[in-house]
Structure formats: C-alpha cells, structure tokens
C-alpha cells in the first residue's frame, strides 16, 4: 500500500481527537462559572437601569414628594408634571423642543455630508495637506469644549451669526465632523477600490462614484456618524447657553431644563418629567439605527 505526500501532510496537520476534546472542555463553562457570569450581568444591568427607572418614577410625583427621607415607589403619583410642561405652564417646552429638533436635524445633515465627503476624499485620493488635515482633526478632538467657547464666540460675532440657530449648527459641526470623518474614513477604507474603478469605466464622475456606489455600501458607517452628530446637538448645554439668544423661545431643551433648577428651590418632579421627554427622541433615533451600529463601529475602527 502506498501513501502519497499529500495524505501524509493532511494526517500530520489534522488535530487529534484528544486535542479536540481538550479544546472543547476548555470552552465549556462549569455551572458555578455560568451562574457567576449571569449574576454579574444581572447586577451590572440593574446598576445601569435603576437611575433611569427612578427618574421615571420621580417624574410622576409632585415636587414635594419627589425627594423624601424614605422614598417610596408610588406616592401621590399622577400625570400633572407632564401636563403642566406640555401645556406651557412650566416654560415654553414645545418651543424648546422645536428648536432642538431643528438644530439637531441640521447638524446631522450638514455634519454627515461634510464628514462623508471629507472621509471619502482622504480615503481615496492623495493630495497636498492630506496628512495635515487628518492630524488637524485629531488635534481638535483634544481640546475641551470650555477652551473653544471664546474663539468660536468671536468668530460667530464677526460673521454676524451670534445668537442664531445657524451659528450653533456650525459650532456643533466643528465638534462632530472631525470624529465622524475618522469613522467614515476607516469605513471607506474597507470598501474595495475596484468598485470606484468600475464606476469610472462606466462613465461616472468621482462624485458620481461616491454618491451612487460608495454611499449605499456605507450605510452602517453613515448610521453611526449620523447618530453621533444627532446626540452632539441634542443634549449639549455649554455651547447652546453661550451662542443662543437669551430669549426663552430661542432656547434648546437642554438649556430650557435649567428653569426647573432655581436658586433656592429645585422642581424635581417637573425636571424628571422634562428629562424623560427629552430622552424619547434620542431613544427613537437609536432604535432606528441600532442594527447598523455594531457593523459601523467595527468597520470604522480599522486602521486607515
């Protein structure tokens, strides 16, 4: 009987039954380890969910019962806090909501367009200043918001945009675009360049390739960056307080919540109810893009 060299190599490289059994035994968790893991996950979930749950419970209580020495789950609970907020009795909540939606939507659209075009250009083309541009985006991310308020204020004042929603959108884009550009650049790097070449062979311009071929393939990355841009504008306080008009109707939701925190008194029930209402749009946006988040974050984290 003859045995060829290929058969010998296969037999040599094939794992033995004992090694397979050992690897399976290492992967199999014991009952105590499984119980400990599930207990740790349950405790971590409880720690994460409990603050949100308690804010929800507090939102149904009157201000006098919101903070008690011995808190109870239900104590004179009602929808009065929500009714007063939505009716305008406690601040111009609906105006704040409209301002926040407008500013967040504009920031998402403008920031996503700038980040997508910039990320694609850096990913596909070699041009003078390419490395300096990405280095500048990285340096911008290192500065805290407080340091940027004064120079940005002077720039908006010189442009005549101080106190306007357009000016605030541009300010938010300075924060969202650098991070989103890095994310999308990493995602565009994972898309084969042969797709660009095939599009150009078919007569598409560089922008046509980007718009008709690359963007549809980059939906997970676009979803992640859109969600980040939306959150950048939705819950931000410092820039909105500094760059918007002091008029009550011009405030955003995050700034408007400050009316419930007075010098000598805090309306905890109304503040909790308003916080729940503020969180609802963010939860909705997260629900719409959640199936793209894992794929987009994983692809955008590769080294470009």
- 28-48: per-residue pLDDT in tens? 667 888 888 889 999 999 999
Sequence-distant (6+) residues with CB within 8 A of 107 are 169, 172, 173, 176, 229, 230, 232, 233
End-to-end CA distance of the chain: 55
Sequence-distant (6+) residues with CB within 8 A of 95 are 248, 249, 251
Sequence-distant (6+) residues with CB within 8 A of 301 are 186
The pLDDT, as a whole number, for residue 69 is 66
3-state secondary structure of 261: strand
Q: What is the pTM of this model?
A: 0.78
Which residue's entry shows tokens 């008709």? 212
Q: Output the CA angle 90-91-96, nearest 5 degrees.
A: 135
The pLDDT, as a whole number, for residue 11 is 43
Burial class (CB in 10 A: 0-12, 13-18, 19+), 132: exposed
**Would the pLDDT of 192 be above 50?**
yes
The pLDDT, as a whole number, for residue 172 is 93
Q: Which fold has domain 85-300?
A: MetI-like fold (1.10.3720)
Please report which residue ranges of the chain form alpha helices under DSSP H: 5-13, 17-27, 31-58, 63-66, 80-86, 93-124, 130-142, 145-159, 165-189, 193-201, 206-209, 215-217, 219-234, 238-243, 253-256, 268-300
**Would the pLDDT of 12 be above 60?**
no
- Cβ 188 vs Cβ 123: under 8 Å: yes
The pLDDT, as a whole number, for residue 297 is 55
The pLDDT, as a whole number, for residue 47 is 93
Confidence bin at 14 (pLDDT 50/70/90): very low
**Would the pLDDT of 138 be above 60?**
yes
CA-closest candidate to residue 250, choices 168, 154, 165: 165
The pLDDT, as a whole number, for residue 3 is 45
Pair of tokens at residue 184: 């999308």
Q: For 228-284, what is each residue's pLDDT tens digit?
A: 999 989 988 889 888 887 776 778 888 888 888 877 778 888 888 988 999 998 888
Q: What is the mean pLDDT of the segment spanning 47-66?
A: 87
Q: For 59-117, what is each residue's pLDDT tens digit?
A: 888 877 777 766 677 767 788 889 888 887 777 888 899 999 999 999 999 999 999 99
- Dist CA 275 CA 266 (whole Å): 14
- Cβ 168 vs Cβ 236: under 8 Å: no
**Would the pLDDT of 302 be above 70?**
no
**Would the pLDDT of 26 be above 80?**
no
The pLDDT, as a whole number, for residue 221 is 86
Mean pLDDT of the chain: 82
Q: What is the mean pLDDT of the segment spanning 180-199?
A: 90
Kindly give the interhelix angle for 268-300 and 219-234, rounded to the nearest 10 degrees.
Answer: 150
């Amino acid at each position: 009987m003859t045995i060829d060299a290929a058969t010998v190599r296969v037999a040599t490289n094939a794992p033995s039954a004992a090694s397979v059994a050992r690897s399976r035994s290492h992967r199999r968790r014991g009952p105590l380890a499984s119980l400990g893991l599930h207990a740790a996950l349950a405790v971590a979930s409880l720690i994460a969910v409990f603050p949100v749950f308690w804010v929800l419970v507090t939102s149904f209580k009157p201000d006098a019962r919101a903070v008690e020495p011995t808190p109870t789950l239900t104590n004179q609970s009602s929808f009065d806090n929500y009714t007063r907020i939505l009716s305008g009795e406690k601040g111009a909540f609906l105006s704040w909501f409209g301002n926040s939606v407008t500013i967040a939507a504009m920031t998402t659209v403008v920031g996503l367009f700038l980040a997508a075009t910039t990320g694609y250009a850096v990913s596909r083309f070699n041009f003078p200043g390419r490395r300096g541009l990405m280095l500048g985006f990285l340096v911008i991310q290192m500065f805290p918001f407080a340091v940027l308020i004064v120079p940005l204020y002077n720039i908006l004042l010189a442009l005549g945009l101080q106190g306007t929603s357009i000016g605030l959108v541009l300010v938010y884009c300075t924060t969202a675009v650098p991070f989103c550009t890095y994310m999308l650049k990493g995602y565009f790097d994972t898309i084969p360049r042969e797709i660009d070449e095939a599009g150009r062979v078919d007569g598409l311009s560089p922008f046509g390739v980007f718009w008709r071929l690359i963007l549809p393939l980059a939906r997970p990355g676009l979803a992640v960056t859109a969600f980040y841009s939306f959150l950048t504008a939705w819950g931000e306080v410092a820039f909105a307080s500094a760059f918007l008009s002091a008029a009550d109707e011009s405030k955003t939701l995050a700034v408007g919540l400050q009316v419930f925190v007075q010098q000598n008194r805090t309306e905890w029930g109304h503040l909790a109810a308003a916080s729940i209402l503020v969180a609802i749009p963010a939860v909705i946006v997260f629900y719409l893009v959640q199936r793209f988040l894992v794929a987009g974050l994983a692809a955008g984290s590769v080294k470009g």
